[in-house]
Structure 1
């Protein structure tokens, strides 16, 4: 594909979903343009601790946008959970986060407009992005219009499919429908092998991925008889953002 200085692919950005402070450090060192800070990737990400958020805001130069999601599972929350969400948002605003990421649905699959409006109000002037709760909504086209009207600045989405590569055609439709009123950011399953094709197909300008690898434990003593997690879980390794993978992805975008 031939590109000139006026190419729509110029200035593409990379958001890294970082599941720890070490992942956030690797994301910054790899050249990420923004960090979505979370924990518990196995459940699609939940809210990181106050200490993690504070450390990243105070020690990193890259924008930090915490994920505000009180638990795994669906995006239909109780009153107590919603109060928890608002408290987390207030904390993020207080310590100087550049933005935050969240999303709520009603039981019928519509966007929870009343609670989302409250979130936008509490967060202001801090911008808010809508996460992949969007993909679980009943009608993506209608949900997009509601999210725009509410004042969210970005939607993280796989096009309602299992990953962004499979959902690329729908993502293109969403980018066209959005018409620069909001950013459509493809995410889920993006890697060095498919980033180029996803970018070309969708026309999106920013992309989201974990860029993670398995990190082996440095522990010398290992009690193999005890388990802290599931039966088939490796107790002596964890997932972490891979600096090299981030660099490779950023290099791909820089050459588009």
Structure 2
């Protein structure tokens, strides 16, 4: 069984590069430098024209994942925009003030996303009890959990990811992401047995104009999705097989 590569992108050029490089699925965002936010309707409609499945990140602001009632309403509307545009799925998450999953909010989001594929994003990496959170996600009908295993990168969370895969036992997909590269993806797949991986495949594209940085319009360094990195990662993955 081959392993699926999901690439997160936040621009039209990134979307084009990820598809050309061989991504099997797209996580569509804006502002990846902030961990990803909900993409614009224009980006959603552009991505919907691609031949690969596209999942939209539903995250209305940067920072933590404890949401107000009005923020949840925005998220519900954004899910409807993704559905109306023909996307295949959405990526959601919400937390309580104690760090646990906000099951009430997540239930509303999942019910509103009925018929779409649903991924629980890396809010999962902040929960105090990953094992219980996994069972909660299954009960909610979520399709997959995006996680670094609580590590800064997947290699730091490899033991936890492996444990989650054993606990999941095929009831939900574990989607490892954070620092996945062509150099480490074989170890990741062979150690955990996952059937899909998540990566940004971004590369530094040089310094931004100092005036743009000074006025707050840009970060110091520009990073773009690299078609070459996507292709290299895909080739490295294609050399590894997992048994269903």
TM-score normalised per structure 1: 0.89
Name the residue aligned to 1:168. 158
Residues 1-256 of structure 1: pairs in structure 2 closer than 5 A: 10-58=1-49, 60-216=50-206, 224=211, 227-229=214-216, 233-234=219-220, 238-256=222-240
C-alpha distance in structure 2 between counterparts of 1:175 and 1:241, whole Å:
29
**Unmatched 5+ residue regions in structure 2?**
none
Question: For structure 1, which runs of at least 5 residues remain unmatched after alignment?
Answer: 1-9
1:225 is displaced (CA, Å) by: 8.5
The runs of at least 4 aligned residues of structure 1 exceeding 3 Å deviation read: 222-226
Deviations 1:161-211 (A, max 9, x none): 111011011100000000000000110011112111111111111110100
Instruction: Calculate the aligned-residue CA RMSD, in Å.
Output: 1.8
Secondary structure of 1:143 counterpart: helix
After superposing the two structures, state which structure 1 stretch, 152-161 or 105-114, moved more.
Answer: 105-114
Deviation at 1:240, TM superposition (A): 1.4
Equivalents in 1 of 2:71, 2:109: separation in Å? 13
TM-score, with structure 2 as normaliser = 0.93
Count, aligned residues: 240
Please say which of residues 195-204 and 76-85 is displaced more in the overlay.
195-204
Match of 1:6 in 2: none
In the TM superposition, residue 246 of structure 1 has moved relative to its aligned partner by: 0.4
| Pair member with larger Rg | 1
